[in-house]
Structure 1
Amino acid sequence: MTKNTESLNDKLQLVRFCITGLEKFKRLSDEEVVMEFRNCHQKLQHVKNSVIESVCMNMEALVCDELRTLKTVSKFAFLNLIEKVESSYKKVKFDLKKLELSHEVTVQDAGIRGMIFLSSESVLLASRTGPKRILVYSVKELKFEHEVQTGDFIPFDVRLIGKLLYVSSEFSDVIQVLRIDDNYSEVFSFSVGKQCFGMDVYDDHIYIACLSAIIKVDMKGNRIGEYPTSGDAKYVVVKKNGHIVYSSQSNNTVTAISVQGDEVWSYSSPNLKYPYGLEKDSSDNIYVTGAHSNDVHILSIDGNLLRRFINLTNPVLFRLNEEQNIVFVCCEGNNIKIFDVNS
């Protein structure tokens, strides 16, 4: 049926062509008709005298041996789904003039250098003096909840990725990884090869301050990169643009470097002495504790001083909880001051 229809269409096209040709000839004079006929005759003769040759093309595909081995591969990769939840809290513009001291608590023989918020209800402290342990307190009233003994491992800083708690120690080159939903049992550990101090997490990678370098590892402890520092870096934060910021006590500076390791900016001030703990907020402002200048310097994303929080005694740690609108400042390693942020 299809072939018959196509044949009929071809015939109709030929009839229309002939009708169009006849209509055209009606409008031509006798001389023009003769000339048109002669041209058509010459073209037809040219076609008849042309030699038409048939050409046969053979194509062959050669498969390399490496491609053949793929037939024996059962799996190319194992895919792991990592759930990453971004907080949707309202961004708060922190103004230290509006900070109000809520209360303070002294944790005896703690030597706190690391602190994270486990949730909106709990905060975790790393105690490096006295009994070596990790302490869990309530956020609002800072009441003791429970502790986890770490044995001979002296914790310095702590960071959380999902349910995995990464713990560093200044007296070891090893990072311990604990599971918080399994009674803080050790899952695994890995060696960095250098003393480990402060840490930060960005894009599911851990950045570890190791005095002469910042070392970047993945969640399993595999080394991704190493960034030399210009001083004894003990704390590090990573901004949204990937810039790495670290504090150096030996030269009283705070330095930002790019992902290539090039210096982006450096901050120093006569008012900043022994810069220690670092923190960042959702606007990528940097908070620097001046342990010997008894203050906190707030730097913009470009490393410019925005303001200072003064009249603190030997502050070593500064932590923000923007969801709860509170600030924790750890002074002298044992005294924790909690401030309310009035937005």
Structure 2
Amino acid sequence: MEKVSEQEITETRRVLRCSRMKQICEDLQNLRYSKLEISIQAKLLENARKLKNFTCLAELTSNEHLKPVKVRPEKIDLVNATVKTDCVFQISENNIYGGDFQSNGKLLLADNNQMKLILCNIDGIFAVLQEKKLSGSPFGVCCIGKNEVLVTLPDEKKVLRLDLDSLEIKDTVSLQCKCYGIATSGNITVIGTRDSVVMFSGGLEERECKTISSYLSGTDDVALDDEGNVIYSSYSHNKVRKQDKGGNLLFSYTHEKLKDPYGLAVGRNGEIFVGGFSSNNIHILSGSGKLLRILEEIEKPKWIKFQIDTNRLFVMESGSSNLKVYQFTGP
């Protein structure tokens, strides 16, 4: 029998420990946590650096080679979930119609009256981190990737591309139409023009655009689901519609308790949140347009956004400074 050296035994144990740590990290990803933050710190010994040379550990990382771990949030049954007011943030003298979450969880809002962007911390204590004055009145906000955001200026018929970290303007795209709500998915960008909904393929700059809908007016708000289907609402006709990229109608939703729909949001499984401005409620639809439930006593919602990572619904009320946050929890 060949004798195994003490050094080989030590190295084998290191390999097994690292493999076990990798398995633990994978198991953590599958836990049913809605919020989970884990910090593992250790001094990286010189011998541990040698582990990177093992081909069997090619996927393992150290603090010198970071690989983000995304925790899968708990799946919520929106029909039976408990909904409670989590907190209320005060944003004075605002007229906000658009906003989006950054990849780091911060919230970027567009103040139409004050002609500025507001970057906010919404984890725990609310705080305004940064403000950016603009040359026009912003409406729609859509974060793309980790480093950029698109902001619409309806009166100027322009879309701004800004750096997310500095909020400095990187590019300005002029269009032939007024641009209100905006949504992107892959190389597809959809814009609500109030009189129609238009889709751009291959980027705004390339001008490859087609009209998805010109039948309804009052089409400010738009959204895209994971399959690239276009969702839009019409406050003039009290209607919500979904169409595929080819323009084919997938469903049209109306309800006696939906008046002046403002604001659209899409959930983790394709659920659609619709704000009823004059009906003081929020309708939650399935991806196929079936009504799941109605949240009542929501005071004139004009902008809504569902944060998938925390199962929270953010609602900006009209006529007040309140940004209300509703927490969904499983039964």
User: In the alignment, which residue of structure 2 is the partner of 1:331?
Assistant: 317
Matched, 1:177 2:161: yes
Q: Number of residues paired by the alignment? A: 256
1:292 is aligned with what amino acid?
Answer: S
Q: Identify which of 100, 113, 119 aligns with 2:103.
A: 119
Q: Identify which of 114, 127, 137 aligns with 1:143.
A: 127
> CA RMSD for the aligned pairs?
2.0
Largest Rg, 1 or 2: 1
Report Cα offsets for 1:169-195 as digits up to 9, x if no partner: 2222110111123x2221111122111
Q: After the TM superposition, which of the residue ranges 222-231 and 268-277 deviates more from structure 2?
A: 222-231
Matched, 1:213 2:196: yes
Distance 1:224 1:157 in 2: 21
Structure 2 portions without partners, runs of 5+: 1-67
Contact 1:91 1:282 in 2 (8 A): no
Distance 2:216 2:69 in 1: 33
Matched, 1:159 2:142: yes
Distance 1:185 1:212 in 2: 30
Structure 1 portions without partners, runs of 5+: 1-84
| TM-fit CA distance, 1:88 | 5.5
User: In the alignment, which residue of structure 2 is the partner of 1:128?
Assistant: 112
| TM-fit CA distance, 1:145 | 1.4
| TM-fit CA distance, 1:91 | 5.0
Q: What secondary structure, in the 3-state scheme, does the structure 1 residue paired with 2:289 have?
A: coil
2:116 is aligned with what amino acid?
Answer: R
Deviating above 4 A after TM superposition, structure 1's stretches of 4 or more consecutive aligned residues are: 85-88
User: In the alignment, which residue of structure 2 is the partner of 1:340?
Assistant: 327
Matched, 1:313 2:294: no
Matched, 1:197 2:197: no
User: In the alignment, which residue of structure 2 is the partner of 1:248?
Assistant: 234
Contact 2:100 2:109 in 1 (8 A): yes
Q: What secondary structure, in the 3-state scheme, does the structure 1 residue paired with 2:221 have?
A: strand
Q: How does 1:5-16 map to 2 (within 5 A)?
A: none
Distance 1:213 1:223 in 2: 16
2:236 is aligned with what amino acid?
Answer: S
Q: Identify which of 196, 208, 213 aligns with 1:224.
A: 208
Q: Identify which of 264, 277, 281 aligns with 2:267.
A: 281
Pair 1:196–1:91, CA change in 2 (3 A): farther
1:167 is aligned with what amino acid?
Answer: V
1:229 is aligned with what amino acid?
Answer: S
Pair 1:86–1:132, CA change in 2 (3 A): farther
Distance 1:223 1:263 in 2: 24
Q: After the TM superposition, which of the residue ranges 233-242 and 269-278 deviates more from structure 2?
A: 233-242
User: In the alignment, which residue of structure 1 is the partner of 2:14?
Assistant: none
Contact 1:244 1:257 in 2 (8 A): yes
1:100 is aligned with what amino acid?
Answer: K
Contact 2:76 2:328 in 1 (8 A): no
Q: After the TM superposition, which of the residue ranges 219-228 and 271-280 deviates more from structure 2?
A: 219-228
Over the matched positions of the two proteins, sequence identity in percent amounts to 23
Distance 1:175 1:87 in 2: 31
Contact 1:161 1:204 in 2 (8 A): no
Q: What secondary structure, in the 3-state scheme, does the structure 2 residue paired with 1:234 have?
A: coil
Distance 2:241 2:78 in 1: 23
| TM-fit CA distance, 1:288 | 0.3
Higher normalized helix content (fraction of residues): 1
Report Cα offsets for 1:312-335 as digits up to 9, x if no partner: 110012211121232211111632
Q: What secondary structure, in the 3-state scheme, does the structure 1 residue paired with 2:153 have?
A: coil
Matched, 1:187 2:170: yes
Q: What secondary structure, in the 3-state scheme, does the structure 2 residue paired with 1:230 have?
A: coil
Distance 1:179 1:258 in 2: 31
User: In the alignment, which residue of structure 2 is the partner of 1:32?
Assistant: none
Contact 1:278 1:289 in 2 (8 A): yes
| TM-fit CA distance, 1:87 | 6.1
Distance 2:118 2:284 in 1: 28
Contact 1:116 1:124 in 2 (8 A): yes
Q: What secondary structure, in the 3-state scheme, does the structure 2 residue paired with 1:188 have?
A: strand
